[in-house]
Amino acid sequence: MYDLTKIDLGKDEAEQDQRLREYFLKTSNYKNALSGIKTIVIGRKGSGKSAIFTLMRSELEESGVFVVPVTPDQYSWSALKDYQEKGILPEQAHTNAWKLTLLCSVIWKLSDTGLVSTDSELAKYYQYMKDAYVPNQDNWFLNVVDKIKKILSGVKTHWISFNFKETNIVATPLRIIDEIKSLLHNEWPQGKQMRILIDRLDDSWDASKESEQLIIGLLKAANELNAIFSGKIIITIFLRSDIYDNLFFDDQDKLRQNEETLYWNSDDLKAVVCERVRVSLGLNEPDNNKVWQNLFSPKAYRSRASAEKYIIDRTFKRPRDIISFVRFAIEVAVRNGHSIIETNDTRIAEEEKYSQSKYKDLIIEYQKQFSYIKDLLDSLSGSLHKLFKDELLKRLECFIENNKLHVQPVQILRHLFIWGVIGVKRQGRAGVKQRGGAHFRYYYDDPSINPLAYNAYYIHPSLRYYLNISEKKEKINRPV
């Protein structure tokens, strides 16, 4: 048995977790991103993107790699989003703006570390922008974007000298970008690598067309620069999967080889909790099963599920979910004076906090794109956990009519599936990702599932208590 009062599972926000490095699980996802093999890290909110970002930054800096972290706030996002160029499509204009912004970030880092000579043309760019790069200023990205917009707009400054052969040539964005690329290639310090890490783009995401074009511009700019500088500069973008999945643009297929999608299986999720318990208690026990057995009672739940299955079934297969659920369960167990987490402790944690927290998390995650999500979830309240297709479509038709929405019921049904609110029961033979027999599958288990091909849907277990969802005509809040 463990002393539950001494277990600290850490912070939900990776940036605020002082012990993240001690118990971070270095999966293949992390290793691929750290090495630069994969440069687009995709995952749902809470899936570990920011944890990878935080630890990558630390490890790369310690290894002697130059790191430029970029976490744009709402104002810098707006500054970039408003940028336009006459005569070209917004998507290309944003690509140009991002390329110049990223290249200027490289100039700053090289100059700041003394690797740009004072007589270099690069030094003139740095001098022009140096007020944008004051260390520890929260608004540095806003400042540099303002400078970039002036450069892109063709503003003449006494700092910048464009080395064009023709004296009357106009300093267009593309020519400026080409000049910087050429200068960097010619003056790149031998044996040095620059990593630019871009996270939290979803903080200011508003689902507008302009936001889509801005993200697309960033993806294309990063892909071009990664290819051009071939290992000297590697730009890694951390992006929420629901945003990335809804982007469509030319040459998107060329980015597929760079994608690293964060998927967590049950063993990995269990390991996330066990490693944090080990660090908290100073344990040397390497067996996750033994750590888990000392944490949870072996008593089965009413569904005959083990503690492991019961808890993982109520997550969206994300580290944040299982960490928060186990944290709540520990709090209840301590309050009840238990030396081990009993089944009733877990159920109380689910009813008091966890189910409502998952309901709120979904709303927070998607309300910018779907302002009606709260009302939509509430419209499911009181239903059975199993909804037949015809019944659900009728419910959605009524919801659309009552809220005067311009959307089709099947579209909302697809959204519910992608969000993880509903899943399907899949029958079939055993395969790589699935054992034989019947299994409940959600979008995070298999994004290739077409929900419209099924005749029945199942509301996610994590939402059932808070939405008062019934199973077989009985309320789920009965005693264990």
Task: Indicate whether 249 and 129 sit together in one domain.
Answer: yes
Q: What are φ and ψ of residue 42, in 5° steps?
A: -115, 135
Confirm whether 454 is domain-assigned: yes
Distance CA 446, CA 425 (A): 12
**Gyration radius of the chain's alpha carbons:** 26
Mark whether 191 and 271 lie in a shared domain. Answer: no
Give domain status of residue 170, yes or no.
yes
Give the model's confidence band at 166: pLDDT under 50 very low, under 70 low, under 90 confident, else very high: very low
Q: What number is the average pLDDT over the span 413-430? A: 88
Q: How confident is the model at residue 163 (pLDDT cuts 50, 70, 90)?
A: very low
pLDDT band of residue 465 (cuts 50, 70, 90) is very high
One domain, residues 276 and 176: no
Enumerate the β-bridge partners of residue 441: 424
311: confidence class by pLDDT, cuts 50, 70, 90: very high
Instruction: Say if residue 478's pLDDT is above 50.
Output: no
Q: Among 172-176, 190-194, 232-236, 324-328, which is the least confidently predicted range?
A: 172-176
Residues 84 and 179 in one domain: yes
CA distances from 14 to 57, 261, 301 (A): 12, 18, 32
In a domain, 45, yes or no: yes
Does 356 lie in the same domain as 384?
Answer: no
Which of 334, 365, 396 is the last residue before a domain boundary? 365
pLDDT band at 436 (very low <50, low <70, confident <90, very high): low
- Shared-domain flag, residues 193 and 301: no
CA-nearest of 444, 447, 479, 434 to 312 is 444
Say yes or no: 301 and 444 in one domain.
Answer: no
Mean per-residue pLDDT of the chain: 85
Average pLDDT rounded to a whole number, residues 169-179: 70
Tell me: do 330 and 446 sit in the same domain: no
Give the end of a domain, one of 305, 338, 365: 365
Does the pLDDT value for residue 453 go beyond 90?
yes
Residue 29 has pLDDT above 90, yes or no: yes
User: Which of 310, 342, 365 is the C-terminal boundary of a domain?
Assistant: 365
pLDDT above 60 (res 95): yes
Considering the domain boundaries, does residue 3 fall inside one?
A: no
Q: Is the pLDDT of residue 228 over 90?
A: yes
Q: Domain total for the chain?
A: 3
| Tens digit of each residue's pLDDT (9 = 90 or more) over 181-208 | 998 999 999 999 999 999 988 877 877 8
Average pLDDT over residues 156-171: 43
Average pLDDT, stretch 258-268?
94
Residues 151 and 171 occupy one common structural domain: yes
pLDDT digits (tens, 9 = 90+) for 122-143: 887 777 666 544 444 555 555 5
Q: What is the pLDDT of residue 80?
A: 62
Confidence of residue 369 (pLDDT cuts 50, 70, 90): confident
The pLDDT value given to residue 119: 81
* Whole-prediction pTM: 0.85
The predicted pLDDT at position 177 comes to 84
User: In this structure, is residue 385 part of a structural domain?
Assistant: yes
140 touches 213 (CB < 8 A)? no
Angle between helices 173-187 and 121-129 (to 10 degrees): 120
The answer on 379 and 280 residing in a single domain is: no
**Residue 451: inside a domain, yes or no?**
yes
207 within some domain:
yes
What local confidence, expressed as pLDDT, does residue 433 receive? 52
| 154, 298: one domain | no
Secondary structure of the chain as H, E, C letters: CCCHHHCCCCCCCHHHCCCHHHHCCCCHHHHHHHHCCCCEEEECCCCCHHHHHHHHHHHHHHCCCEEEEECCCHHHHHHHHCCCCCCCCHHHHHHHHHHHHHHHHHHHHHHHCCCCCCCCHHHHHHHHHHHHHCCCCCCHHHHHHHHHHHHHCCCCCCCCCCCCCCCCCCCCHHHHHHHHHHHHHHHCCCCCCEEEEECCHHHHCCCCHHHHHHHHHHHHHHHHHHHHHCCCEEEEEEEEHHHHCCCCCCCHHHHHHHEEECCCCHHHHHHHHHHHHHHHHCCCCCCHHHHHHHHECCCCCCCCCCHHHHHHHCCCCCHHHHHHHHHHHHHHHHHCCCCCECHHHHHHHHHHHHHHHHHHHHHHHHCCCCCCHHHHHHHCCCCECEEEHHHHHHHHHHHHHHHCCCCCHHHHHHHHHHHCCEEEEEEECCCCCCCCEEEEECCCCCCCCCHHHCCEEEECHHHHCCCCCEECCEECCCCC
Does 5 reside within a domain? no
In the chain, the percentage of residues whose pLDDT exceeds 70 is 83
Domain assignment of residue 440, given as a range = 370-480
Q: Kindly report, residue by residue over 51-92, the tens digit of the pLDDT.
A: 999 999 999 999 999 998 887 654 456 656 666 666 667 778
| Averaged pLDDT, 25-29 | 93
pLDDT at 476: 46
User: Is the same domain home to 280 and 424?
Assistant: no
Lowest mean pLDDT, pick from 9-23, 33-47, 466-480? 466-480
